[in-house]
Structure 1
Amino acid sequence: MTGDDLPAPLTFRLEPGTEVDLGGRIGVVVSVVSLDSVLVEDTVTGERRVRPTAVLAPWRGAAAAQRRAIPDLAEFTEPQLEVGRRRQDEIDALLALRRRSKQDVRAAADRLDLSVSTLYGLMHRYESEGSLTCLIPHAYRKRRRCKRIAPAAEQVITAVIEEVYVPTPGARPVDVIVEAQRRLRRANLGAVAPNTIRERIRELDPKEVDRARYGGMAAERRHHQTYGTHDPARWPLQRIQIDHTVADFFVVSPEDGDAVTRPVLTLAIDEYSRVVKGFYLSIHRPSTLSVAMALTHGILDKTEFCRRHKLESPYPVWGIDEAILTDNATEFDSRGLQLGCRQWRIRGEFRPLGQPYFGGRIERLVGTMMADVRLIPGYTFSSVAERGKDYDGRAGAALTLEEAEERIAVRIVDRYHRDKHSAIGTTPLKAYEHSFLGSDRLPGRGLPRMPADPGRLLKDFLPVEYRTVQSYGIRLNRLTYQSDLLRLFASRRDGRKYVVRYDPRNVSVVYFYNPETQEYYDVPQRDRHRPPVALWEVEQAVAELKRLGQDADDENAIYRAIERCRHIDAEAARKSAAARRRQERRREDAKAHTPERPTVTPSAPATPDAPSKPAEPAAPPARRVRPVADLEGWS
Structure 2
Amino acid sequence: MPKKAFAHFHVDNKLNNPSTINQSSNEKNSSVSFTGDEIFQDITSFSESVANEIRFRFSILNIIVKECHDSGVTAKKIEPLRVQLQREISRPIPSSITIYRWWLKYRDSDFKITSLAPKTKKKGNSSIKVPDIVSEYISHSIERVISAEKLNINNAFKSVRKKVRIYNLTHNTSYKYPSYETIRKRIKKFTPYEKLAKSKGERVAKREFRRMGKKIQTESILERVEIDHTQLDLFAVHSTYRTTIGRPWLTQLVDCHSKSVIGFYLGFEPPSCTSLTLALKNAIKRKDTLLSNSPSVKGKWLCYGIPDLLVTDNGKEFLSKSFMQTCDSLFINVHQNKVETPDNKPHTERQYGTTNTSLLNDLPGKAFSNYLIREGYSSETEATLTVDEITEIYLIWLIDIFHKKSNTRGTNCPNVTWNLSARIWPPNEFKGTDDELDFCFADKITRSLRKEGIYLKKDLYYSNERLAEYRGKKGNHTVTIKYNPESLGYIWVLDEDCESYFKVPAINFEYASGISLWLHEKNMELKKVLSHTEYNQESEIDAEIAIDEIVDKSMSLKKTTLTNRKRAARYQENTKRAKNSQPYIPPQSKELPSSSDSRVDASNIDDDFNWEIDYV
TM-score bracket relative to the smaller structure: 0.3 to 0.5
TM-score relative to the length of structure 1: 0.46
Rg larger for: 2
**Greater share of helix residues, 1 or 2?**
2
Structure scoring higher RCO (CA < 8 A, sep ≥ 6) equals 1
